[in-house]
């Protein structure tokens, strides 16, 4: 097989303290391609504890700038690697709200990776007054990328769900160049979950980033109704927090008089797995996702998920078969779904078994193989 040289832009690397699902996606593909002999340079931002240059699982990471200034330094990195006689075959522009504007300087074919559009998340990241400005900015830069795709400079757009594909088509991208390559699962890590999941605790969990657009305050308001009927069940909220939002959630929990809410901050992967395996349900009230990666991980533990009917989440759950999609964002409606599965063990186990069978079709090996098949054939 011909060796490919890939210059890959992402705002964070897997070692960044704020790394999330997009960074896992990048890392799991990049390390597998590197293992097959392909040369990969990941250009990304730097934090104080990380070195300027590092090899991670066979691919080279170059860190320049900070969270936002990395975008200003992207062209500099491009020129630097080429001046060092390393000519990429492909440039990957991974868009996490802000793109790297690679069509303005890259002479090589470009692949875009877009997990999700920000759209209504702008109001949750800042405030509702910023939403129209942020969304206008997002649509503006996409015009440049749409033009570049029509000129053939952007060869493919990779996304992770039908929801994001539909959003991109509605923006003006041609469906012909969009490819869905789903997230995978690390089965080497999750293959013992069947054993752990045999003993379920009286617990419901939210696991993920604790930030506003995840809509966890809705879950707390729903839990007010759940506690009235199921006093022995605890709610575990676990993940990496936005400190300001975490304080708001703690105050809301106290205001509602909730007695069985536990916050677990900055948990390890092993603790995450234990929570997903031992909980009876995962609840994911987010307003928008690229894909429900945590839902897939819970499914590997035979734990069904209740989620709001939202982009990304509606793709990761088959309603009433692998979980429940709640159509309205009302606390009582969400509470009723939680109570229904807590009080209906047979249905809960049915959904858990189906979720596990559904999850078995996903693996990072499959994801990397599909990605490589795409980029080597143009």
Q: What pLDDT score was predicted for residue 281?
A: 97
CA atoms within 13 A on the CB side of 48: 0
Average pLDDT over residues 337-343: 98
- Does the domain formed by 187-359 have CATH 2.60.40.10? no
pLDDT at 124: 59
Start-end of H helices in the chain: 21-35, 69-83, 121-125, 131-150, 162-171, 187-190, 193-197, 216-229, 243-255, 269-278, 293-300, 313-316, 331-342, 345-359, 364-375
Per-residue pLDDT at 350 exceeds 80: yes
The tokens of 256 are what? Answer: 């509602």
pLDDT score, position 130: 55
User: In which residue ranges of the chain is CATH 3.40.50.2000 found?
Assistant: 5-184+363-375, 187-359
Question: Over the stretch 96-107, which tens digit does the pLDDT of each residue have?
Answer: 888 999 999 999
* Per-residue pLDDT tens over the stretch 277-328: 999 999 999 998 989 999 999 999 999 999 999 999 999 999 999 999 999 9
Query: Do 354 and 322 form a contact (C-beta atoms < 8 A)?
Result: yes
Q: Specify the higher pLDDT residue, 117 or 253.
A: 253
Q: Are 243 and 251 in contact (CB under 8 A)?
A: no
Q: What is the mean pLDDT of the chain?
A: 93
pLDDT at 126: 56
pLDDT of residue 262: 98
The pLDDT value given to residue 122: 55
> How many alpha carbons lie under 13 Å from residue 102 in its C-beta half-sphere?
27
Q: Give the pLDDT band of residue 194 (cuts 50, 70, 90).
A: confident
Q: pLDDT at residue 1 above 70?
A: no
pLDDT, residue 76, reads: 95
Predicted confidence at residue 321, as pLDDT, reads: 98
> What is the pLDDT, as a whole number, of residue 68?
84
Percentage, residues of the chain above pLDDT 70: 95
Distances (CA, A) of 256 to 38, 186, 205, 228, 251: 55, 38, 18, 12, 9
What is the rounded average pLDDT of the residues 264-279? 95
Count the alpha carbons within 13 Å of 303 in the hemisphere toward its beta carbon.
Answer: 35
pLDDT band at 341 (very low <50, low <70, confident <90, very high): very high
Residue with token string 């945590």: 294
Higher-confidence position of 126 and 214:
214
The CATH fold of domain 5-184+363-375: Rossmann fold (3.40.50)
What is this structure's pTM? 0.91
Query: What are the tens digits of pLDDT across the range 137-163?
Result: 788 889 999 999 999 999 999 999 999
pLDDT at 270 over 90: yes
Is the pLDDT at 121 greater than 60, yes or no? Answer: no
* Over residues 15-23, mean pLDDT: 89
pLDDT tens digit sequence for 48-91: 889 999 999 999 999 998 888 999 999 999 999 999 889 999 99
Instruction: Tell me the C-alpha distance between 11 and 16, whole Å.
Output: 10
Least confident stretch, 197-201, 252-256, 331-335, 353-357: 197-201
Give the per-residue pLDDT at 20. Answer: 86
């Amino acid at each position: 097989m011909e060796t490919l040289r890939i210059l890959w832009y992402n705002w964070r690397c897997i070692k960044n303290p704020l790394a999330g699902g997009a960074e896992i996606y990048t890392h799991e593909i990049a390390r597998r391609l590197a293992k097959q002999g392909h040369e990969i340079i990941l250009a990304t931002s730097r934090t104080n504890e990380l070195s300027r240059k590092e090899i991670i699982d066979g691919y080279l990471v170059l860190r320049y700038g900070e969270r936002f200034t990395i975008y200003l330094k992207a062209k500099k990195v491009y020129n630097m690697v080429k001046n060092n006689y390393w000519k990429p075959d492909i440039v990957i522009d991974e868009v996490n709200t802000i793109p790297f504007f690679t069509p303005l300087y890259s002479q090589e074919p470009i692949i875009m990776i877009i997990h999700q559009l920000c759209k209504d998340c702008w109001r949750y990241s800042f405030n509702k007054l910023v939403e129209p400005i942020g969304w206008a900015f997002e649509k503006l830069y996409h015009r440049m990328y749409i033009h570049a795709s029509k000129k053939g400079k952007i060869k493919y757009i990779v996304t992770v769900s039908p929801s994001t594909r539909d959003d991109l088509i509605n923006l003006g991208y041609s469906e012909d160049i969009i490819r869905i390559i789903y997230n995978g699962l690390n089965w080497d890590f999750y293959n013992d979950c069947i054993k752990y999941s045999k003993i379920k605790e009286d617990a419901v969990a939210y696991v993920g980033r604790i930030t506003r657009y995840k809509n966890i305050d809705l879950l707390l308001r729903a839990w007010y109704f759940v506690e009235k009927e199921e006093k022995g069940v605890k709610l575990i909220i676990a993940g990496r927090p936005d400190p300001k939002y975490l304080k708001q959630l703690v105050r809301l929990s106290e205001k509602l008089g909730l007695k069985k809410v536990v916050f677990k901050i900055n948990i390890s992967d092993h603790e995450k797995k234990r929570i997903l395996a031992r909980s009876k349900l995962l609840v994911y009230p987010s307003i928008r996702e690229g894909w429900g990666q945590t839902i897939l991980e819970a499914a590997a533990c035979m734990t069904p998920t209740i989620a709001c009917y939202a982009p990304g989440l509606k793709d990761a759950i088959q309603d009433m078969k692998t979980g429940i999609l709640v159509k309205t964002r009302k606390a009582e409606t969400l509470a009723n779904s939680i109570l229904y599965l807590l009080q209906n063990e047979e249905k809960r186990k049915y959904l858990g078994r189906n979720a596990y069978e559904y999850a078995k079709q996903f693996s990072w090996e499959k994801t990397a193989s599909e990605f490589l098949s795409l980029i080597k054939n143009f």
